């Protein structure tokens, strides 16, 4: 009897030790709204926040080292289909090693510049009022010849390092050179976060010597409002230069957040008589029902000569988002 008790106790201790050495977290986001996106004339059901199901975990290897992994699938909750027809783990799929000196991960993942670019948009890149793709990281796919484009959020075949040194965080990423391109997509970012202040600087080059984008910006939390501002400047292989800025903020009122902002991009193509511009104003009311669930309503208006301003200039949404 005593031997059985000892054996059961030993098994319990082994199970406890194993669970203490490794952890796996399941998480996700479900977002659905009804409305009309900017650039469309159709009223529709939308998912503008990137609904996802993900798994991330760590294993303690001893000596201060940990193995890490992450898998994230993006999907359309209104139909149950994958958000990407070609990439199942469209969010990211990575594995790496972490220590007190930082983390090195390999796989499909966010470019380093994203840690600056996503923090500054009051809307976090979500909803019809999002300002990130205009004021912080303009996507230049129509005129950029690279397979990896300026403004791409995630890239495949990437090695990325992240380190945190007090209030300063550093990220550097480099990817595999696209076919026919001499250079690898590279990106770096430095951020400073201490109390009410966040400030960051980022650079990205999507695999061509003349394709590059610099971004600088920050946020500051005052008692009544959190203010945000950013400026970006870049150029492409086709002699197009781009400049953009974003200003905005969030006013917290208990469970209600009032979000607002304006962003503008100006593109100057060599040999063109006039610049092309796109400005966007966004306003949103986001009400937290709990720590994980909120309802929201947003409106947006664009103007200028770049798409989508040549089609429908207004957009709106009314939605609900749950995180787990």
Q: What percent of the chain has pLDDT over 70?
A: 85
6-20, 199-213, 286-300: least confidently modelled range: 6-20
Residue 8 has pLDDT above 50, yes or no: no
For residues 117 and 178, which has the higher predicted lDDT (pLDDT)? 117
Q: Give the whole-angstrom CA distance, residue 273 versus residue 269.
A: 8
192-196, 235-239, 241-245, 247-251: least confidently modelled range: 235-239
Closest residue by Cα to residue 305 from 283, 273, 261: 273
Stretch 270-276: mean pLDDT: 75
pLDDT of residue 202: 95
- Cis check: omega of the bond before 197, within 30 degrees of 0: no
pTM: 0.85
At 128-139, the pLDDT tens digits run 999 998 888 775
At 277-288, the pLDDT tens digits run 889 999 999 999
Closest residue by Cα to residue 199 from 116, 113, 110: 116
Closest residue by Cα to residue 317 from 10, 18, 45, 26: 45
E strand or H helix at 8: helix 2-21
pLDDT of residue 32: 97
Stretch 293-319: mean pLDDT: 85
Q: Give the whole-angstrom CA distance, residue 79 versus residue 70.
A: 25
Give SS3 for 248.
Answer: strand
Average pLDDT of the chain is 87
Domains and CATH numbers, the chain: 110-323 (2.40.160.10)
Residue 154 has pLDDT above 60, yes or no: yes
Q: Name residue 232's beta-bridge partners.
A: 215, 244
Tokens of 146: 């690279």
Give SS3 for 15.
Answer: helix
Closest residue by Cα to residue 187 from 89, 246, 110: 110
Closest residue by Cα to residue 143 from 216, 231, 210: 210
pLDDT of residue 178: 67
């Amino acid at each position: 009897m005593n031997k059985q008790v000892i054996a059961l106790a030993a098994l319990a201790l082994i199970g406890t030790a194993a669970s203490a050495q490794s952890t796996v977290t399941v998480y996700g986001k479900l977002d659905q709204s009804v409305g009309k996106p900017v650039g469309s004339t159709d009223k529709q059901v939308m998912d503008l926040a990137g609904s996802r199901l993900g798994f991330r975990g760590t294993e303690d290897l001893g000596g201060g080292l940990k193995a890490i992994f992450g898998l994230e699938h993006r999907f359309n909750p209104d139909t149950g289909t994958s958000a990407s027809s070609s990439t199942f783990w469209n969010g990211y799929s990575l594995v790496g090693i972490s220590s007190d000196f930082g983390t090195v991960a390999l796989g499909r993942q966010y470019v380093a510049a994203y840690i600056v670019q996503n923090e500054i948009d009051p809307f976090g890149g979500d909803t019809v009022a999002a300002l990130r793709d205009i004021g912080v990281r303009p996507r230049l796919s129509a005129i950029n010849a690279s397979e990896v484009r300026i403004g791409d959020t995630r890239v495949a075949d990437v090695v990325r390092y992240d380190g945190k040194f007090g209030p300063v965080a550093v990220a550097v990423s480099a990817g595999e050179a696209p076919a026919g391109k001499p250079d690898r997509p590279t990106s770096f970012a430095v951020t400073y976060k201490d109390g009410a202040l966040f400030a960051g600087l980022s650079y990205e080059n999507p695999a061509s010597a003349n394709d590059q984008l610099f971004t600088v910006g920050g946020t500051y939390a005052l008692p009544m409002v959190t203010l945000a501002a950013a400026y970006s400047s870049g150029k492409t292989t086709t002699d197009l230069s781009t400049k953009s800025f974003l200003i905005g903020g969030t006013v917290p009122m208990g469970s209600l957040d009032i979000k607002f902002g304006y962003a503008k991009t100006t593109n100057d193509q060599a040999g063109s008589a006039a610049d092309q511009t796109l400005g966007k104003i966004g306003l949103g009311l986001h009400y937290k029902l709990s720590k994980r669930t909120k309802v929201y309503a947003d409106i947006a208006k664009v103007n200028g000569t770049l798409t989508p301003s040549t089609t429908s200039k207004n957009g709106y949404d009314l939605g609900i988002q749950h995180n787990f």
